[in-house]
């Protein structure tokens, strides 16, 4: 394996192509699906070595990332990651429906298209010398959020394929495990481990330092796996913990050669999964999935990064740096295939599309500045002026926030309430799904008429959501007014421009809320999924009518639930809802 990988890597380097592509080709050559004979038969042992490469990669990223960078990118990563994952699930689900696949297969495609390849992206960023740049920091943050999201998806995949109801408690349990594991690991680890590492380096040899560091890395990975999380998450956390020691540079130097060898094996193992016959049999669908993924990932990550306060250039380069379908996507596709929730064509389509995106990624990262310059050159002047104005507004807002504790507190409160309102909407949608699909009463009614229960349940869901939607609009208006006030206080804009600034902020917020609400309506309200001839406008009309007739009831239910959700989240309850 190493011999073949070395030869293909050398050949591709001579052709000025990334060595990673050579590793993938080596896997195809060695794999069990390539005639006339298979050079490697025991792929399980290769996969074990490949998993070591992923663990060492994430450990190395943690060593380089450190706690300061984690704090800096944390909030951005959560917001940007959540937005882009929601958008990609919607895009993948819509594409699956366009293919004519079942709802479950379309949902699996949305999940597959949500995650990018951490190993591939970090490798390419390292090889191109981009790992220390601003967009690389943003990419790593989003990748970490995607890894956490993938753990949740994999946890829910089994009950989803078996038709068992997915309860909100399951999601909450996974989230609590993640929060508990990360919190305890960081707090206790940072209190003890950095000092222990420094002591080992001071008293013992470099070989001992390496073995102790690796022991901690793999030990944390085992604990992470035991809690139902990914081994990569445990390795990353331990890397961050050890990064707080004074010996971090020495540990990193000793880890790099091991990481490179096992990471090469990882990419070879990915190549071994490729069955050329199956890929070519579904080449058309694979090409479409790859093209939609590359375009969708670039646009969704760019949009998510931009609304999360990155500038336009960095946002675009972040988007173009994430166009490779991830390792978790292979696992999700395999779970679907093993449980027969999806057909064999699905798995081969995903593998084919993933390989295409992996080949595109190095060129996307390398040429993203040139692509951005070309796009900027052909943009209308009015759009350029709008971006320039938005950047000035952001600069003014950041200046005022840094100077005023009161403004920061008010903005944080309003944003927190927006999050609470969205959570309420999501809970209503999940409960509606549960009632529609897993209760005997609705099932009995649906046998007589699929239209009536879908219409009534969808209408009641919308009625319950309306107070939260109105609350979101009000909060957005307050945020916009606050941002306008801060921009005017900065002195960079005169009073005459206040109305225009308010309009710009409200337009951006409206687009953002509309996209999120549309995604929720399409993917969550049961009536829009199972009754093709029932237009969503009918559900909205029924919902508005129910809300009008039972406004006090729906508003009271919303208020009580919002109060429950706000406990433990809100530290300040002075808001007049």
In sequence order, the β-bridge partners of residue 116 are 325
**What is the rounded average pLDDT of the residues 174-194?**
74
* Residues 242, 257: Cα–Cα separation, whole Å: 18
The two three-digit tokens of residue 555, written as one number: 């508003």
Q: Give residue 377's pLDDT.
A: 79
Question: Which helix H or strand E contains 133, and what residues bound it?
Answer: none
- Considering only 9-23, 78-92, 527-541, which range has the smallest mean pLDDT? 527-541
Better pLDDT: 535 or 36: 36
Better pLDDT: 233 or 436: 233
* Residues 122, 102: Cα–Cα separation, whole Å: 34
Are 286 and 419 found together in one domain? no
**What is the rounded average pLDDT of the residues 107-136?**
82
Is residue 244 in a domain?
A: no
Residue 320 near residue 365 (C-beta atoms within 8 A): yes
Are 355 and 401 found together in one domain? no
Are 391 and 475 found together in one domain? yes
Domain end call among 343, 378, 413: 378
Q: Which of 500, 428, 413 is nearest to 462 (CA)?
A: 428
Q: Give residue 522's pLDDT.
A: 52
Q: Give residue 491's pLDDT.
A: 61
**What is the rounded average pLDDT of the residues 556-575?**
61
DSSP 200: H
pLDDT-based confidence at residue 504 (cuts at 50, 70, 90)? low
Is residue 221 in a domain?
A: no
Q: What is the pLDDT of residues 518-553, one digit of tens each?
A: 555 554 454 444 444 445 566 667 767 877 777 888
Are 8 and 129 found together in one domain? yes
Q: Give residue 577's pLDDT.
A: 43
At 518, is the secondary structure helix, strand, or coil?
A: helix
Residue 450 near residue 530 (C-beta atoms within 8 A): yes
Are 463 and 364 found together in one domain? no
Q: Which of 283, 357, 297 is nearest to 327 (CA)?
A: 357
Is the confidence at residue 492, as pLDDT, over 80?
Answer: no
Is residue 366 in a domain?
A: yes
Is the confidence at residue 502, as pLDDT, over 70?
Answer: no
Is residue 454 in a domain?
A: yes
Is the confidence at residue 409, as pLDDT, over 80?
Answer: no
Q: Give residue 20's pLDDT.
A: 77
Are 491 and 359 found together in one domain? no
Is the confidence at residue 430, as pLDDT, over 70?
Answer: no
* Residues 122, 120: Cα–Cα separation, whole Å: 6
Q: Which of 499, 315, 489 is nearest to 399 (CA)?
A: 489
Helical axes 381-403 vs 451-489, angle rounded to 10°: 70
- 296 alpha carbon, distance to own chain's centre: 13
Is residue 197 in a domain?
A: no
Are 390 and 338 found together in one domain? no
**Range with top average pLDDT, 19-28, 406-415, 544-553:** 19-28
Is residue 199 in a domain?
A: no
Residue 76 near residue 138 (C-beta atoms within 8 A): yes
The two three-digit tokens of residue 544, written as one number: 């508005």
At 54, is the secondary structure helix, strand, or coil?
A: helix
Number of C-alpha atoms within 13 angstroms, CB side, residue 564? 9
Q: Is 462 exposed, middle or buried (0-12, 13-18, 19+ CB in 10 A)?
A: buried
Q: Give residue 295's pLDDT.
A: 92
Q: Give residue 289's pLDDT.
A: 92
**Range with top average pLDDT, 7-16, 306-315, 412-421, 540-549:** 7-16
Across the chain, mean pLDDT equals 76
Q: Give residue 529's pLDDT.
A: 45
Are 412 and 480 found together in one domain? yes
Terminal-to-terminal C-alpha distance of the chain? 64
**Range with top average pLDDT, 141-145, 183-187, 318-322:** 318-322
Rounded percentage of the chain residues whose pLDDT exceeds 70 = 73
At 344, is the secondary structure helix, strand, or coil?
A: helix
- Considering only 6-10, 188-192, 419-423, 530-534, which range has the smallest mean pLDDT? 530-534
pLDDT-based confidence at residue 293 (cuts at 50, 70, 90)? very high
Q: Give residue 397's pLDDT.
A: 64
- Residue numbers of the domain that contains 357: 2-166+264-378
Q: Give residue 211's pLDDT.
A: 92
At 163, is the secondary structure helix, strand, or coil?
A: coil
Q: What is the pLDDT of residues 218-250, one digit of tens each?
A: 998 888 888 777 777 788 888 888 888 888 888
- Look up the CATH number of the domain holding residue 21: 1.20.1530.20
DSSP 495: G
Are 349 and 459 found together in one domain? no
Residue 279 near residue 352 (C-beta atoms within 8 A): yes
Domain end call among 344, 378, 412: 378
**What is the rounded average pLDDT of the residues 360-365?**
87
The two three-digit tokens of residue 445, written as one number: 């009614």
Residues 6+ apart with CB under 8 A from 230: 147, 150, 151, 224
Q: Is it true that the peptide bond before 191 is cis, omega within 30 degrees of 0?
A: no
Q: What is the pTM of this model?
A: 0.65
Are 351 and 430 found together in one domain? no
Q: Which of 89, 77, 84 is nearest to 512 (CA)?
A: 84
**Number of DSSP helices (H) and strands (E) in the chain, helices first:** 23, 0
Q: What is the pLDDT of residues 456-466, one digit of tens each?
A: 777 777 788 88
Residue 429 near residue 524 (C-beta atoms within 8 A): yes
Domain end call among 340, 355, 378: 378
In sequence order, the β-bridge partners of residue 25 are none
Q: Which of 25, 103, 205, 207 is nearest to 530 (CA)?
A: 103
Q: What is the pLDDT of residues 208-219, one digit of tens each?
A: 989 999 999 999
Are 346 and 300 found together in one domain? yes
pLDDT-based confidence at residue 573 (cuts at 50, 70, 90)? very low
Q: Which of 325, 329, 326, 323 is nearest to 365 (CA)?
A: 323
* Residues 235, 248: Cα–Cα separation, whole Å: 15
**What is the rounded average pLDDT of the residues 384-388?**
70
* Residues 272, 558: Cα–Cα separation, whole Å: 53
**What is the rounded average pLDDT of the residues 162-166?**
52
* Residues 556, 324: Cα–Cα separation, whole Å: 46
Is residue 124 in a domain?
A: yes
Residue 259 near residue 57 (C-beta atoms within 8 A): yes
pLDDT-based confidence at residue 288 (cuts at 50, 70, 90)? very high
Are 418 and 553 found together in one domain? yes
Q: Give residue 407's pLDDT.
A: 72
Better pLDDT: 86 or 385: 86
* Residues 235, 61: Cα–Cα separation, whole Å: 9
Is the confidence at residue 509, as pLDDT, over 80?
Answer: no
Residues 6+ apart with CB under 8 A from 78: 145
**Total of domains in the chain:** 2
One-character DSSP codes across 265-320: HHHHHHHHT--HHHHHHTHHHHHHHHHHHHHHHHHHHHHHHHHTT--HHHHHHHHH
Q: Give residue 576's pLDDT.
A: 41
Is the confidence at residue 75, as pLDDT, over 90?
Answer: no
Is the confidence at residue 17, as pLDDT, over 50?
Answer: yes
* Residues 50, 52: Cα–Cα separation, whole Å: 5
Is residue 572 in a domain?
A: no
Dihedral angle computed from the Cα positions of residues 404, 407, 413 and 418, in that order, rounded to the nearest 10 degrees: -130
**Range with top average pLDDT, 59-73, 258-272, 324-338:** 258-272
Residues 6+ apart with CB under 8 A from 119: 53, 54, 57, 263, 266, 267, 327
């Amino acid at each position: 394996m190493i011999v073949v990988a070395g030869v293909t890597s050398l050949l591709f380097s001579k052709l000025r192509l990334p060595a990673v592509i050579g590793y993938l080709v080596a896997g195809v050559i060695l794999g069990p699906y390539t005639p006339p004979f298979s050079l490697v038969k025991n792929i399980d042992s290769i996969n074990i070595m490949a998993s070591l490469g992923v663990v060492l990669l994430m450990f190395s990223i943690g060593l380089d990332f450190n706690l300061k960078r984690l704090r800096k990118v944390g909030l951005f990563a959560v917001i940007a990651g959540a937005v882009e994952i929601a958008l990609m699930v919607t895009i993948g689900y819509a594409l699956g429906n366009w293919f004519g696949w079942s709802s479950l297969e379309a949902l699996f495609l949305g999940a597959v298209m949500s995650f990018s390849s951490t190993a591939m992206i970090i490798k390419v960023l390292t090889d191109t010398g981009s790992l220390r740049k601003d967009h690389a920091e943003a990419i790593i943050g989003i990748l970490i959020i995607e890894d956490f999201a993938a753990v949740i998806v994999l946890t829910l995949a089994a009950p989803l394929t078996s038709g068992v109801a997915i309860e909100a408690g399951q999601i909450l349990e996974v989230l609590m495990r993640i929060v508990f594991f990360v919190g305890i690991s960081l707090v206790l680890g940072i209190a003890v481990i950095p000092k222990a590492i420094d002591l080992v380096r001071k008293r013992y040899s470099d070989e001992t330092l390496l073995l102790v560091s690796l022991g901690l890395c793999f030990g944390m990975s085992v604990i992470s796996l035991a809690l139902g999380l990914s081994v990569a998450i445990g390795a990353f956390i331990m890397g961050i913990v050890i990064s707080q020691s004074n010996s971090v540079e020495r540990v990193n130097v000793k880890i790099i050669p091991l990481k490179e060898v096992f990471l090469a094996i990882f990419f070879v193992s990915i190549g071994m999964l490729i069955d050329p016959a199956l890929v070519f049999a579904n080449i058309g669908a694979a090409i479409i999935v790859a093209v939609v993924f590359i375009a969708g990932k670039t646009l969704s990550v760019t949009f998510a990064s931009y609304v999360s306060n990155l500038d336009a250039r960095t946002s675009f380069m972040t988007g173009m740096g994430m166009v490779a379908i991830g390792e978790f996507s292979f696992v999700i596709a395999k779970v679907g295939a093993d449980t027969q929730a999806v057909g064999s064509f699905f798995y081969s389509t995903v593998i084919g599309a993933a390989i295409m995106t992996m080949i595109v990624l190095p060129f996307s990262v390398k040429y993203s500045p040139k692509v951005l310059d070309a796009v900027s050159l052909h943009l209308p002047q009015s759009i350029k002026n709008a971006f320039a104005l938005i950047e000035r507004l952001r600069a003014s807002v950041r200046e005022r926030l840094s100077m005023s504790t009161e403004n920061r507190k008010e903005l944080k409160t309003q944003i927190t309430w927006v999050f609470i309102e969205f959570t309420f909407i999501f809970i209503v949608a999940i409960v509606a799904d549960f009632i529609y699909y897993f209760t005997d009463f609705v099932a009995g009614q649906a046998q007589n008429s699929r239209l009536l229960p879908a219409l009534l349940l969808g209408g009641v869901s919308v009625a319950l959501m309306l107070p939260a939607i109105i609350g979101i609009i009000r909060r957005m208006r307050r945020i916009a007014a606050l941002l306008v006030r801060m921009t005017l206080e900065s002195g960079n804009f005169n009073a005459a421009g206040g109305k225009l600034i308010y309009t710009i902020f409200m337009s951006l917020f409206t687009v953002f809320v509309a996209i999120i609400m549309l995604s929720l309506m399409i993917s969550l309200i049961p009536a829009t999924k199972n009754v093709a001839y029932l237009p969503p406008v009918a559900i909205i009309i029924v919902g508005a009518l129910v809300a009008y007739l039972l406004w006090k009831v729906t508003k009271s239910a919303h208020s009580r639930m919002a109060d429950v959700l706000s406990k433990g989240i809100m530290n300040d309850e002075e808001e007049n809802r």
